[in-house]
Structure 1
Amino acid sequence: MQPEPVISNISHVIQLSVAPVFLLTGVGSILSVLINRLGRIVDRIRVVDQKLIASARDDKASLRFELTTLGRRMRLINWAISLCITCALLVCLVIAMLFVSFFINMNVSYAAAILFVVAMLALIGGLLSFLREIYLAIAIARMGMH
Structure 2
Amino acid sequence: MTEAFSVIQLSTVISQVTAPAFLLSAVASTVSVLITRLNRVADRYHSISGSPENNSGATNLNIELPDLTLRAHFMYRAIFWAVGSGICTCMLVIIMFTSALLKFQHEIGAAVLFIIAMGLFTTALIYLAREVRLSHKGSFSHRLIGDGFAHRPYLPLKKKTSP
**TM, length-normalised to structure 2:** 0.80
Kept in 2, the 8 Å contact 1:52–1:63? The answer is no
CA distance in 2 between partners of 1:66 and 1:54 (Å): 11
Residues 1:31 and 2:31 aligned together: yes
Aligned residues: 142
Residues 43-92 of structure 1 deviation map (CA, whole Å, 9 limit, x = unaligned): 00110111267543241xx3333111111000000111110111111111
Unaligned runs of 5+ in 2: 147-163
The structure that has the greater radius of gyration is 2
Q: Is the 8 A contact 1:45 1:70 kept in 2?
A: yes
CA RMSD of aligned residues (A): 1.8
Q: 1-side partners of 2:74 and 2:47: how far apart?
A: 20
Contact 2:13 2:97 in 1 (8 A): yes
- Residues 87 and 52 of structure 1, relative CA distance in 2, 3 Å threshold: farther
Residue in structure 1 matched with residue 125 of structure 2 by the alignment: 127
Q: Tell me if 1:71 matches 2:61.
A: no
Question: Which residue is equivalent to 2:138?
Answer: 140
Uncovered stretches (5+) of structure 1, i.e. residues with no partner: none
Return the structure number with greater helix share: 1
1:144 partner letter: L
Shift of 1:18: 1.5
TM-score of the superposition, structure 1-length normalised?
0.89
